[in-house]
């Protein structure tokens, strides 16, 4: 999942929260965390275009957090206009949102979408965390391999990875877990 898709998921999740009137502090907190930790592409002529799109989507996500937090409903047209401006001609971004907006009249589909989207975002965040843990372990192996106490190294790595063994459980969804996918890749 790239940053554009992640931000579209956050924006659509916040829109669902507003439509359902559930206003979950956990979802608002997760959205703020993503907004605050999303990295922009490095400045440069070839990256400016993507950078501007992500900056626009971050602005829209921040606006959505504020609206949902205040209980202010966001209309379909307002959201679509903002995303169209943010997308700067990247039609696939607008189409990703339109696909979601097509379910916004069905409460059951919206609740299901909310649960799947929370799960997707949590899984993505867990994957990033596991990737960082594995990269740190790999660096340690490369630069300190000769002096590592292997039993301690493996125990500490397993302990650090354990919280990511099972990710999800939202809305009855289950996943094999990020750890199993990592182990299968190795």
pLDDT at 109: 86
pLDDT at 3: 87
Give dist(CA 68, CA 28) in Å, integer: 8
Give dist(CA 142, CA 138) in Å, integer: 6
Give dist(CA 166, CA 177) in Å, integer: 5
For residues 101 and 133, membership in a common domain is answered with no
Does some domain include residue 72? yes
Number of domains in the chain: 2
For residues 37 and 83, membership in a common domain is answered with yes
The whole domain housing 164 covers 121-185
SS3 123: helix
Place of tokens 């907004």: 35
pLDDT at 147 over 70: yes
CA–CA distances in Å: residue 110 to residues 11, 132, 175: 14, 33, 21
**Residues 112-139: what's their mean pLDDT?**
89
pLDDT at 44: 63
pLDDT at 67: 92
Does some domain include residue 61? yes
pLDDT at 14: 92
pLDDT at 4 over 80: yes
pLDDT at 49: 66
Chain-wide mean pLDDT for the chain?
A: 81
Taking alpha carbons only, the member of 110, 115, 148 closest to residue 18 is 110
Q: In the Cβ-directed half-sphere of 49, how many Cα atoms lie within 13 Å?
A: 6
For residues 17 and 42, membership in a common domain is answered with yes
For residues 25 and 76, membership in a common domain is answered with yes
Cα 150–chain centre separation: 34
Contacts by residues 126-130 (CB-CB < 8 Å, ≥ 24 positions apart): 126/164, 126/167, 126/178, 127/178, 129/164, 130/161, 130/164, 130/178, 130/179, 130/182
Give dist(CA 185, CA 77) in Å, integer: 43
Does some domain include residue 16? yes
């Amino acid at each position: 999942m790239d940053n554009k898709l992640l931000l579209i998921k956050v924006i659509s999740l916040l829109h669902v929260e507003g439509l359902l009137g559930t206003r979950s502090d956990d979802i608002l907190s997760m959205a703020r965390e993503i907004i605050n930790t999303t990295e922009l592409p490095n400045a440069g002529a070839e990256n400016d275009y993507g950078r501007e799109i992500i900056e626009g989507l971050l602005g829209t996500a921040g606006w959505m957090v504020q609206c949902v937090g205040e209980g202010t409903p966001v209309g379909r047209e307002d959201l679509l206009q903002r995303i169209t401006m943010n997308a700067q001609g990247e039609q696939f971004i607008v189409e990703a949102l339109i696909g979601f907006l097509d379910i916004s009249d069905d409460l059951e589909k919206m609740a299901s979408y909310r649960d799947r989207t929370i799960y997707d975002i949590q899984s993505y965040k867990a994957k990033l965390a596991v990737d960082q843990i594995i990269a740190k372990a790999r660096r340690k192996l490369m630069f300190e391999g000769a002096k590592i106490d292997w039993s301690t190294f493996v125990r500490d790595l397993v302990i650090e990875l354990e919280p990511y063994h099972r990710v999800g459980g939202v809305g009855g969804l289950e996943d094999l877990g990020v750890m199993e996918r990592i182990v299968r890749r190795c």
